[in-house]
Chains A and B, each alone.
Chain A
Amino acid sequence: MTTEFTKELLIKALKKALEAIEGHFDYLNKLDAATGDGDHGTAVLSTMKAAVAAAEKPGGLSETLSNIAMEIMSATGGSTSSLNGSFYMGLSSGAKSDALSVADAVAMFVEGLAMMQSTTNAQVGDKTMMDAMIPAIDAMKAASAENADASLHDVFQSAADAAKAGAEKTTEYVAKFGRARNLGERSKGTPDAGATSQALIFQAFADAAAE
């Protein structure tokens, strides 16, 4: 069981996330085709590939997270890469050392979400990736606040469970952002692809922290 959030854990988690996205590639494209361009699987796959490549380069944790952000945002200009890029930018400024305690790791993820929210107005219920992100970070905060002995695995598993539940709820939502908003009521019935992929990524972090 990993006790501190380090660059090593980050690399392990990102590799697991990349595997999970590869495994769900067609599914994510299919979800997106129901309401958007049908390219979310493609976009998130190139995002995670860029993240893994950047993570393996030399540098401390904060610098590595900043490199990941830049590489993700250079990959494409779409919302998947720019939102994920802003998240990693926030993680980078939140990483106070190269080995973070559970409380410091949670604080870092809170900062990641804050940076994301400075670039989008999407809230829970708008059928975007924020439907997974916001409850996931809230669950991390709650898990570490309620139990002083919570492990990294505990907090990431709470995040993953909350992200999954949040993504499933998007099936009932009407899209308010992106091209999907043109569909109005017709956007109901399919979960949001971006929220679904974020839930997969949080589960990868939980799995990496369990090892």
Chain B
Amino acid sequence: METWLQRIFLVLCLAPVWAGAQQVTPDIERTIINEDVLDSENWLLGVRAGVLSIEDFGSSALGALQLSYQINEDFYLSAEYAFAKAGRTSFEELSGAAPLLTDEQRKWQYYGAHVGYMLLPGEVFLTRDFALNSGLALFAGGGNVDFAGDKVFALHLGSQFRLYATDWLAVELTFSDYIFETTILARSKTTHNLSLSLGLALYF
């Protein structure tokens, strides 16, 4: 009788220990890698040359430098510096009068920033079996135009077509409009200065 009772108690006492022994949790720490260990290439440096039509002053050669930071796959931020030299107005050509501006005042400079949106990413097929990645981006921004001895705020709107020759090198075709007010010809007016330029950009 007594041993029978002792056995019951023994079983009751050991049951929780036995049940506990069944639940073995693996004590392994999983190591976590931060994605920052990978080299990031979010900056893009571009150089381009083209033509700028300065309203009333004809078309002239344009050079530009652009530094961009890719925020995500859709948006980017750019700082830009562009320069050109204005030609002569039709009035100066025809009247034979003294030039309106000095040589120094004919220098056109722009510096500013813009936000771009990659509207149409995709591929361009150069031959039947060979495709390159491409993208058409729209951008809007503003900055300063230094022209004719005056500094004015300019709106800068445009689009940029980018063709990726390799993963880090792109060919860019940029079409943009620099909109600003001028007071050179007596009355203040808003001018549209269109530019078209071709350049190279690299990721780093």
Q: A and B: partners?
A: no
B: residues with CB less than 8 A from A are: none
